[in-house]
A and B are shown apart, each in its own frame.
Chain A
């Protein structure tokens, strides 16, 4: 057959459409995708140090040999021309071009029909799975990998059929490019693309032998296989060598640093029927219109020639359904199932089917099916159907591109410049930092600064057991990972010195309370609204940091091979382009073009099955939509309106919340907004609604009383509340009857308060040199009055009292170490939130230090709980019994977060609870009050301290009642009370005590304890601390 000399106009159309559509939108989408900025970060690494694989920026250093480098290196190289983002967008556009042409060549290979292939190329432009992978996931290497693989397939076919060495070389050359851009693609591509391709080549070979596809029997197939065996093996061995050789350092690294990361939940592994959002993103969107055509697609791919593609397509489709059925986990095995993200299977399935989809489109719009349908239905219905299908197809593509706009998966774009400047100033980059609430933009920050963070965004590269043992994507968004997230974060916040972590950039005020109560304080708000938190007394990073050295040959391989594969492949293909353009006469037909099919209308049963299938789909969608409507229409039932109301409150959408308030209640909108604006506190400002359920306790057609249970997650604790809410039906809509507000009127309209505030100059001279000796403040003197090692059950803690005996305020950090009887160190931990970290002069605080292990590091232990619980605590497993302890108290001058305005009024013990009220005497709004309750034994010796947070804020001159259960009824044994190993800023406690307070008054009246009847403790005392969210 002689090849057409014309350029394929469909392909040209597809390319133009593709560049217009993707090129126009990619600038608005790519930066907010999940992965693109991670690749950008890697690219930045290569642009700075091409041959050095060690990167200090993330975790505590990691190797970039954990990800094939081609795409990163290309971006890095292009960044020299127009910056990193230029490189990223260029690579994305190259990806689009490669993908469209790749699909064209693949479709031509499969169908042998240039028009069909052109249709397939146009469809590829708007393929929703491709759109999603590029514009929502931003998986550039994956896209480049699959596109190049598609280009490789025809070459492999030609090698198998013709046995010409040049095809072997071209196919292997291009496979090498795939390998160096994405490691998973060629491995699974081998199974799902190349094996069926070999099958098809064998089928074609057999057909040529016997002349008719129907005559191809298994025997014929087997003989063809034998004759092709050598070529298959040659190609197989060649590709194996390439897969191992091209990214050899990757395999060596994988072997040396096996991924110890526990599985991180991924939406593609969910049950799509249960988690409908995952179903939308990982099933409905990528399949899109293809779902309606399943009968045709399967029918065509299960025809004899395509049988192997049919099998591959079926397996990919099933694997892509994630956790909906148990089949994928059985096929892949638990390990692979938990490491792989299964969305890629759906992507491949939707790509592998594109030729058939193109074929359908051609036949439907211009071929035999058109004729058949127009005869049967008439042209109008056919055209309308076609219009609807195209409309839906395009709509899904547009919807997918703009999904990131409607349902942002990322926080608003953050201007990184102020942060970068901050890190550059005054040696701030000598410490590690941690971004909170940055989303994937943290990678963009890391790419711009040389400062290091303990967090990171490529979890396979992690090394800290604090991170690898938890299913946490990033510390930065730990609130979305519930208990494990906050648990991980708390460890870093409590022991920042271990990681030299001094600065936190908070873009989400959700984390503020836990930062404050673990001893951090606000430093300044940057111009971009990011709050900088600082921890005093953290030592800077050492000048020399540890790194894993790799042999030179690996560095050279890693730096040289990837781009060489591209250059080699380009040279070879340039040669073929040369031949194609200039030596047209000598051009020969590709063998696969001989397999072009004449299309005749398929079996009518296929039509009937298709109609039925479409009907079923419509019913399923309609039913799904209806259920969704019932569940989510706010005012349809009483319980819906309550849920909608809380939902609106949770998202701070107060206008919407007000629309659910009974209009007959007489509460005006401005009154409602005013009431909302004065409510503050842990529950209304720092909580995320986790669960809500209602029970009707009284119900009729028009009014109901609903007992509403809500579960709120805050960074400090979980709040379970219950309330009785009255709802009323007016005009077929349910409304909420508003609740009464606090009527109390403070006595003074205007009042004044004198306070002492502090300011520390830091360096008095503007110099980047060493701080002058006289600018260094004396560390405040603190005395530990008592400290005891206490055993409760199998756990140990240290409780005690300390007092700031200096005349300046102190910021306290305590590190405790447990020793065995042979003076072996058993555990070290810092005081978390059971202490007042900021102390006025002469103020004292009780404290408790618990020894926390790295959560779930013990794999035999029960798996982590699914539900969120910030109080979750993993006690450390000690091999020996601790007998003594050491306390290192470090005190630094505190100048902020000192507030003594909260008074505890009329409190008393009542039936296992302590009741009373907090009265705010000062001028700051005490956003989150904390009660530190201390428990004493018969001899008035401190045995335990607990922390309780009050959910409501206390405004100036107002009162908030509290009722806190007295807990911890476990028996506690005091093991050691020696203060011999207590040190303050490195000096022995005893000497300080003798020098500064030689004659301490022992019978202090304010240390009055409240007697309690309990078998494990006899007295309690109470102390108050408060977080001021918005200091005046």
Chain B
């Protein structure tokens, strides 16, 4: 608030004076305005950016001593600017300020005296020619797919020293480096820009490009060319032994995935694998590629079966089906009942060499066709179950025990 009051002592007299002068001028205009005529002399209709531009004018039917208000209105790309001169000075000369003369484009002017438009006209400022540089170059998108269908566009906007876009038809060169080959493309500026489509090559890699204009050049531009969509591929598998021990790891490898132009597809492309076993259980795994190869893993099944595995990149490529057979590791196992037959001990579970199977093999127990099966993990070759009194009162039951694909049925009475 304080500031406003401080300034009011400056502003108030100014306002009062303005009002006073306004009324005086109005009187004058009414009497003399109609008779005023005048012209402005243009030396040129075309200038070059940075030139000094002076327009001189003449007003008739009035004594120069009576002239009070003469100005030139300029309509430029920055907007409208008004230049005024001292009317008493002859001849009337308007010097266009250099922020306007540096900017290329059309300028329209109107010459006014005492509120009356006396003359209008226009002139053009052309970009400066001798000093040129390439202000901006763009390339986009920065990455494309190999194969010649995809393309990117390079755009250069050469300018003069005042940042004016150059005139159409100015020659621009675009240099391109693919692999070891360098290519030069002569272009001309069209609608103030120079542009070119760059279609992707068949081979993946990186394209370097630059735009040149006489002795000025743009910065380096990179275009990455990635492999196109993958083609069908083959899969194979690796494993340490053929036994279904539920412990070792099965690796499924793809062949090197390539696109139709023999480019290895980009690292990190996901390949899906799906397998089915004999009892139609499904296995799903996935892996992303490195150097074109994806290798997915699965844990060995814990019962003898044949896994039929296929792979694909959904919607784009697929593999053949492979079948992997797993043999049983167990021929036979024993079952011991104790504690009123409420504790069941299964084992020893012996593997293909006669060794105790590694801990953690799954053994299941189902009682009388009850849906709920109990699971136990083996430890040191044995697995044990407790038959809870809460759920199983005294009586005869049929126990089905399944270990690593071998199934056994026993009928027992529990107390």
- Interchain CB contact under 8 A, B318 and A903: no
Residues of chain A within 8 A (CB-CB) of B359 are 743-745
**Which one of B64-72, B276-284, B324-332, B404-412 is at the A interface?**
B276-284
B27 on the A face (CB < 8 A):
no
Q: Which of A745, A747, A778, A842 contacts B269 (CB 8 A)?
A: A842
List the A residue with the shortest CB-CB distance to B361. Answer: A744
B interface: dominant SS:
strand
- Interchain CB contact under 8 A, B142 and A778: yes
Given contacts A773-B138, A907-B282, contact A1008 B274 (CB under 8 A): yes
- Interchain CB contact under 8 A, B277 and A906: yes
A1022 on the B face (CB < 8 A):
yes
Given contacts A756-B268, A905-B299, contact A1000 B316 (CB under 8 A): yes
Q: Which of A748, A843, A844, A919 contacts B298 (CB 8 A)?
A: A919
Given contacts A842-B270, A1004-B315, contact A1010 B282 (CB under 8 A): yes
- Interchain CB contact under 8 A, B301 and A906: yes
Given contacts A745-B359, A997-B229, contact A906 B281 (CB under 8 A): yes
Given contacts A758-B268, A911-B371, A957-B249, contact A744 B360 (CB under 8 A): yes
Q: Which of B279, B286, B310, B390 contacts A697 (CB 8 A)?
A: B390
Residues of chain A within 8 A (CB-CB) of B200 are none
Once the chains are docked, how many angstroms separate the CA of A809 from the CA of B268?
8
Residues of chain B within 8 A (CB-CB) of A705 are 390
Contact with B along A394-435 (1 / 0, CB 8 A): 000000000000000000000000000000000000000000
B366 on the A face (CB < 8 A):
no
List the A residue with the shortest CB-CB distance to B293. Answer: A754
Q: Which of A756, A908, A921 contacts B288 (CB 8 A)?
A: A756
Given contacts A921-B249, A1001-B317, contact A903 B269 (CB under 8 A): no
- Interchain CB contact under 8 A, B284 and A904: yes
Given contacts A778-B141, A841-B270, contact A907 B314 (CB under 8 A): no
Residues of chain A in range 934-966 having any CB-CB distance to chain B below 8 Å: 957, 959, 961
- Interchain CB contact under 8 A, A1001 and B316: yes
Given contacts A743-B359, A841-B270, contact A1006 B142 (CB under 8 A): no
- Interchain CB contact under 8 A, B288 and A1005: no
How many whole Å from A31's CB to the nearest CB in chain B?
Answer: 38
- Interchain CB contact under 8 A, A1006 and B282: no
A389 on the B face (CB < 8 A):
no
B311 on the A face (CB < 8 A):
yes
B256 on the A face (CB < 8 A):
no
- Interchain CB contact under 8 A, B143 and A778: yes
How many whole Å from B110's CB to the nearest CB in chain A?
Answer: 36
Contact with B along A773-810 (1 / 0, CB 8 A): 11001100000010000000000000000010101110
Given contacts A747-B248, A911-B371, contact A903 B282 (CB under 8 A): no
B379 on the A face (CB < 8 A):
yes
Once the chains are docked, how many angstroms separate the CA of A959 from the CA of B280?
20
How many whole Å from B181's CB to the nearest CB in chain A?
Answer: 23
Once the chains are docked, how many angstroms separate the CA of A911 from the CA of B283?
19
- Interchain CB contact under 8 A, B315 and A959: no
Contact with A along B224-245 (1 / 0, CB 8 A): 0011011000000000000000
A996 on the B face (CB < 8 A):
yes
B297 on the A face (CB < 8 A):
yes
Residues of chain B within 8 A (CB-CB) of A1030 are none
- Interchain CB contact under 8 A, B318 and A841: no
How many whole Å from A351's CB to the nearest CB in chain B?
Answer: 43
A1007 on the B face (CB < 8 A):
yes
Once the chains are docked, how many angstroms separate the CA of A898 from the CA of B288?
10
B378 on the A face (CB < 8 A):
yes
Once the chains are docked, how many angstroms separate the CA of A903 from the CA of B150?
36
Contact with B along A1000-1018 (1 / 0, CB 8 A): 1110111110100000000
- Interchain CB contact under 8 A, A748 and B281: no
- Interchain CB contact under 8 A, B269 and A1000: no
Residues of chain A in range 976-1032 having any CB-CB distance to chain B below 8 Å: 995-997, 1000-1002, 1004-1008, 1010, 1022, 1024
Residues of chain A in range 220-238 having any CB-CB distance to chain B below 8 Å: none
Contact with B along A829-867 (1 / 0, CB 8 A): 000000000001111100000000000000000000000
B285 on the A face (CB < 8 A):
yes
Contact with A along B376-391 (1 / 0, CB 8 A): 0111000000000110
A742 on the B face (CB < 8 A):
yes
Residues of chain B in range 318-354 having any CB-CB distance to chain A below 8 Å: 318, 321
- Interchain CB contact under 8 A, B249 and A747: yes
A368 on the B face (CB < 8 A):
no
A698 on the B face (CB < 8 A):
yes
- Interchain CB contact under 8 A, A842 and B143: no
Residues of chain B within 8 A (CB-CB) of A807 are 145, 226-227, 265-266, 268-269
Residues of chain A within 8 A (CB-CB) of B227 are 807
Residues of chain B within 8 A (CB-CB) of A777 are 142
Task: Number of A interface residues at 8 Å Cβ cutoff, please give it.
Answer: 57
Residues of chain A within 8 A (CB-CB) of B301 are 906
Once the chains are docked, how many angstroms separate the CA of A908 from the CA of B296?
21
B313 on the A face (CB < 8 A):
yes
- Interchain CB contact under 8 A, B297 and A1000: no
Interface size classification for chain B = 35 or more
A466 on the B face (CB < 8 A):
no
A900 on the B face (CB < 8 A):
yes
- Interchain CB contact under 8 A, A906 and B318: no
- Interchain CB contact under 8 A, A907 and B281: yes
Given contacts A900-B288, A1004-B312, A1006-B274, contact A774 B268 (CB under 8 A): no
B195 on the A face (CB < 8 A):
no
How many whole Å from B157's CB to the nearest CB in chain A?
Answer: 12
B358 on the A face (CB < 8 A):
yes
Q: Which of B221, B266, B296 contacts A903 (CB 8 A)?
A: B296
- Interchain CB contact under 8 A, B314 and A1006: yes
- Interchain CB contact under 8 A, B142 and A774: yes
Once the chains are docked, how many angstroms separate the CA of A698 from the CA of B299?
40
Once the chains are docked, how many angstroms separate the CA of A840 from the CA of B270?
6
Once the chains are docked, how many angstroms separate the CA of A754 from the CA of B389?
51
Once the chains are docked, how many angstroms separate the CA of A520 from the CA of B49?
53
Q: Which of A842, A898, A921, A1024 contacts B313 (CB 8 A)?
A: A842
How many whole Å from B43's CB to the nearest CB in chain A?
Answer: 42
How many whole Å from B293's CB to the nearest CB in chain A?
Answer: 9
B273 on the A face (CB < 8 A):
yes
Residues of chain B within 8 A (CB-CB) of A959 are 299
Residues of chain A within 8 A (CB-CB) of B389 are 698
Residues of chain B within 8 A (CB-CB) of A911 are 371
Residues of chain B within 8 A (CB-CB) of A842 are 230, 269-270, 313-314, 316
Once the chains are docked, how many angstroms separate the CA of A773 from the CA of B316?
32
B117 on the A face (CB < 8 A):
no
Residues of chain A in range 907-932 having any CB-CB distance to chain B below 8 Å: 907-908, 911, 916, 919, 921
Contact with B along A807-841 (1 / 0, CB 8 A): 11100000000000000000000000000000011
List the B residue with the shortest CB-CB distance to A774. Answer: B142
List the A residue with the shortest CB-CB distance to B358. Answer: A745
B400 on the A face (CB < 8 A):
no
How many whole Å from A959's CB to the nearest CB in chain B?
Answer: 6
Once the chains are docked, how many angstroms separate the CA of A742 from the CA of B282?
24
Q: List 25 A-B contacts (CB under 8 A).
A: A697-B390, A742-B360, A742-B377, A744-B360, A744-B377, A747-B247, A755-B288, A758-B268, A805-B316, A841-B266, A841-B288, A844-B315, A903-B283, A903-B297, A904-B282, A905-B298, A906-B301, A921-B296, A921-B298, A957-B249, A995-B150, A997-B315, A1005-B274, A1007-B314, A1008-B274
Task: With A842-B269, A906-B281, A907-B281 given, name 14 new contacts (CB 8 A).
Answer: A743-B378, A756-B289, A778-B142, A807-B226, A808-B268, A840-B288, A903-B286, A907-B282, A919-B299, A995-B150, A1005-B274, A1005-B321, A1006-B311, A1008-B282
Binding site for B on A (CB under 8 A): 697-698, 705, 742-745, 747-748, 754-756, 758, 773-774, 777-778, 785, 803, 805, 807-809, 840-844, 898, 900, 903-908, 911, 916, 919, 921, 957, 959, 961, 995-997, 1000-1002, 1004-1008, 1010, 1022, 1024
Q: Which 3 A-B pairs have the closest CB atoms?
A: A744-B360, A903-B285, A921-B297
